[in-house]
Amino acid sequence: MAARGTMGLARSVAIMSIAATLSRILGFLRNTAISALFGQNQLTDMLNTSFIIPDTIYLILVGGGVSSAFIPVLASYLAARDEEVVWQTVSTAFNLVLTLVGIAVILGMIGAPALIHLIAPGFDADQAAYTAYLTRIVLVAILFHCLNGVLMGTEYAYQSFIGTAIGPLVYNTAIIVFGLALAGRYGIAAFALSTLIGAALNFLVQVWGVWYLKPRYRLTLDLNNPGIRRIFRLMLPVTIGLSIAQLNLFFNQTFIASFLPRGSINALTISSRVVLVPILFASSMGIALLPALTRIAIERDYTSFSRYLSGSLRAIIFISLPATVGLITLGQPVVRILFQHGRFTSADTLATTEALVFYSLGITAYGAYEILSRAFYATQDTITPLKIGLVTLAAGTALNFTLGPAFGIRGLALAYSLAGFVNVGLLLYYLRRKVQASLGGRRLLTTAAKSLLAALVMGLILMLVAGHLPLPAAWPRLVRESLELTLLVALGVLSYAGLAWLLRMEELANLLSILSRRLHRSRATAD
């Protein structure tokens, strides 16, 4: 039974990881298109800033509730085989989000000019006015995003990944296609408009995905629904906590950066998105793990709970440390290949790489956060992460205002990484006390030590080989550099795997075992 559950979790993680990776690739193509057309300057700074208010609305009204409350509550009803209550809860949640977010969007549109002056005080009057115009467009898109959150949360609770896997791909593809098609007429505003189109198309995909679950939607707004009341009770601390995290990110990438040279906001934004790639594995694992952890927590089987959690954390460490070293070593060619096209210059590449290197230091912390935060949510404890978030905000704010003015974008990126380690250290400490069971601290340290050793040796190998591959100089720059980067990444993966094998790392054996099972299953299906 346990083996079947582990295989199911691995399959869910694999589906989500593949879909998230493809979506992230399309996201990079979107950023590449924007960078090539407009460069790294006040235009791209204004576009990035226009997402701050809409993203905050999403996080406050929906983002925190989906993973911390909505999925666990639905999963508990499904575990009790009470589907009638499930769809009553889903219907009320959908209608409530439609109402509240609709009101927030209207208020956001009215107050956009004043809010932009507040969040980007370094912008002049023209920059602030145009950013407010872009913000109003993106605000409409966020209404669809919030509704998508409810629908996707329902699919996750049922462990159905049809719409959740396809929708983000449709979203990013629409942004690229419509953004390029409309850029000649609307300038950089084309990518705000294409975001709206993509969000609407993603909504249609999620409706299609939920349709397979045979929904029983009702036009109701029952605030006395026990499930809704539980969701409110659970999500309120998380909503405050996410607001705190958003405030830290706001100080890090917008408020202070608006006083730095033009293009700084864009450099911080796109470099942080590159760093998100290895964290996607952790996020996918956390989402797939949440329903299983919720069921185990309901049964109070904290031995199994700790075993699942410890194994997930070791997997995060095993993957995130080489990713950190790899991005530090190969960061400049990665940025150059992804973004240095058209009006994005070599100076822009250097500035973005500086931010990328220091953001990379926090990959392990933010990867572990994706697991640990959901472990608290599975036990329906959302107060403890909130308290820890307040401490993290204080630390992050102090670091941002200390390191940012002193070291520019490098200092801001480093501040964000250090705040992540403060957060995850406190989460780990209090979770261990909560479950009253060992999280395998010695095994975690052993995995960390071996992974770091293997990653550092891998980095040294890459430094020695980079720039010395015998590729024809006559080839186009993009082809030559892309091939060189591909070969270096392959060398890094093989050398790290080889070193992990020499160190007899259990995490490598587990990963190979999962891949082997999937290969045998694929062959059996083909036969």
In this structure, is the dihedral angle defined by the CA atoms of residues 513, 515, 521 and 523, taken in order, positive or negative?
negative
pLDDT band, residue 152 (cuts 50/70/90): confident
What integer is the mean pLDDT of 34-41? 91
Residue 7: pLDDT over 50:
no
pLDDT for residue 170: 92
Q: What is the mean pLDDT of residues 354-375?
A: 91
Three-state secondary structure of 268-314 = HHHHHHHHHHHHHHHHHHHHHHHHHHHHHHHCCCHHHHHHHHHHHHH
H helix count then E strand count, the chain: 18, 0
Catalogue the long-range contacts made by 398-405 (C-beta closer than 8 Å, 24 or more residues apart): 400/248, 400/251, 400/252, 400/256, 401/251, 401/256, 404/252, 404/256, 404/257, 405/256
pTM: 0.78
C-alpha atoms less than 13 angstroms from C-alpha of 355 in its C-beta half-sphere: 27
The better pLDDT of the pair 166, 436 is held by 166
At 4, is the pLDDT very low, low, confident or very high (cuts 50, 70, 90)? Answer: very low
- Check whether 469 has a pLDDT greater than 50: yes
- Whole-number pLDDT of residue 288: 63
Mean predicted confidence (pLDDT) in 198-221: 89
At 486, the amino acid letter reads: T
Highest mean pLDDT of the ranges 89-98, 130-139, 269-278, 466-475: 130-139
Is pLDDT above 70 for 110?
yes
What's the pLDDT score for residue 279? Answer: 80
- pLDDT winner (highest mean) among 172-186, 278-292, 296-310: 172-186
Tell me the percentage of the chain whose pLDDT exceeds 70.
Answer: 89
Go through the chain and tell me how many residues it has.
527
Least confident range from 44-53, 61-70, 168-177, 487-496: namely 61-70
What is the pLDDT, as a whole number, of residue 475?
85
